[in-house]
Amino acid sequence: MPYSRSSARTSAARRLAELRRPFAYAKVRTRLLPTPIRDSIFQNSVFQMSAVLEDYFGELTTSWFSNLLAAGALASTVPSTTRAFVIGRTYEDAFRRYFGLGDEQDLASRILAEPNIINVLDDGAPLPSLEYRSKIIKDKKFPSAYNVETLFKRLGLKKVLQLTSARTHTNVELGLRAFMDVRNSLAHENPPSITDLDVERYFRQIDLWIGAFDREFYRHVVRVSGSAHWA
């Protein structure tokens, strides 16, 4: 099956196109719009592009599990390391309490409260319906370089920044770090100066990155789960 865009990529492309309209309006109206207003539009574009990227990662990865569960796929269609991580996250609080309190009965009762979680390691059993988004995805979808690398590694796709860099012939990690530095400076410090050329470059980068991540995750899903479970 040839590559087809994920629904997450389609949604992101639509949002980026909508976001370009106010940017394009402000870009050419150098005399009509006061400089502070133009700057605000440019800064908002950066915030919104960051949100698009964050939502893209969340939707792309969550939809994979949704498709697997809807199809009644076997647990073997998810990497074993991912499934083991789900078990670890499920019992994380129980072991924290045990390390703090030393209460063995409390630990045992909390483990027994999730008796079916072990089934996720049974390759021949249907993938159990669990909170995969909250356990794997939710805390790492903010698009920092570290979070992106960690998120895809949890899903069995290692060195995703290196893979997307090779695909785009750019350094995705450095580019993403630079973009997020600007975004975070806008949120927490004195706003840096952003020109229309900067914003235009960010639009091109975000679109390029999303396309690369989409294709790399497609290859991964097809390899471990089969093309029928692509988003």
Region for residue 159 given its phi and psi (left: phi exceeds 0; alpha: psi -120 to 50; beta: otherwise) = left
154 falls within a domain: yes
167 lies in the same domain as 218:
yes
119 falls within a domain: yes
Per residue, the 3-state secondary structure of the chain, as one string, reads CCCCCCHHHHHHHHHHHHHHHHHHHHHHCCCCCCHHHHHHHHHHHHHHHHHHHHHHHHHHHHHHHHHHHHCCCEHHHCCHHHHHHHHHHHCHHHHHHHHHHCCHHHHHHHHHCCHHHHHHHCCCCECCCCCHHHHHHHHHCCCCHHHHHHHHHHCCCCCHHHHHHHHHCCCHHHHHHHHHHHHHHHHHCCCCCCCHHHHHHHHHHHHHHHHHHHHHHHHHHHHHCCHHHCC
Domain extent, residue 98, equals 83-126
Torsion of CA 148, 149, 153, 158, to 10 degrees: 130
% of residues, the chain, pLDDT over 90: 82
Furthest C-alpha separation in the chain = 72
Token couple for 194: 């952003």
217 lies in the same domain as 165:
yes
Q: How far is CA 24 from CA 7, 28, 45, in A?
A: 26, 7, 11
167 lies in the same domain as 113:
no
pLDDT digits (tens, 9 = 90+) for 119-150: 899 999 999 999 999 999 999 999 999 999 99
Provide the number of structural domains found in the chain: 2
143 falls within a domain: yes
137 lies in the same domain as 120:
no
104 lies in the same domain as 181:
no
Torsion of CA 81, 114, 71, 123, to 10 degrees: 40
pLDDT at 191 over 80: no
139 lies in the same domain as 69:
yes
pLDDT for 208: 98
pLDDT digits (tens, 9 = 90+) for 48-100: 999 999 999 999 999 999 999 999 999 999 999 999 999 999 999 899 998 99
114 lies in the same domain as 194:
no
Distance of CA 38 to the CA centre of its chain: 30
160 lies in the same domain as 193:
yes
Confidence band of 10 (pLDDT split at 50, 70, 90)? very high
pLDDT for 192: 81
What pTM value is reported for the model?
Answer: 0.92
2 falls within a domain: no
95 falls within a domain: yes
105 falls within a domain: yes
The pLDDT of 196-214, averaged and rounded, is 97
180 lies in the same domain as 216:
yes
1 falls within a domain: no
Confidence band of 32 (pLDDT split at 50, 70, 90)? confident
140 lies in the same domain as 106:
no
Q: Which of 107, 126, 145 is the last residue of a domain?
A: 126
Place of tokens 């969550």: 62
41 lies in the same domain as 149:
yes
Calpha distance 151→148 (Å, rounded): 5
Distance of CA 66 to the CA centre of its chain: 15
138 lies in the same domain as 69:
yes
pLDDT at 152 over 80: yes
Region for residue 156 given its phi and psi (left: phi exceeds 0; alpha: psi -120 to 50; beta: otherwise) = left
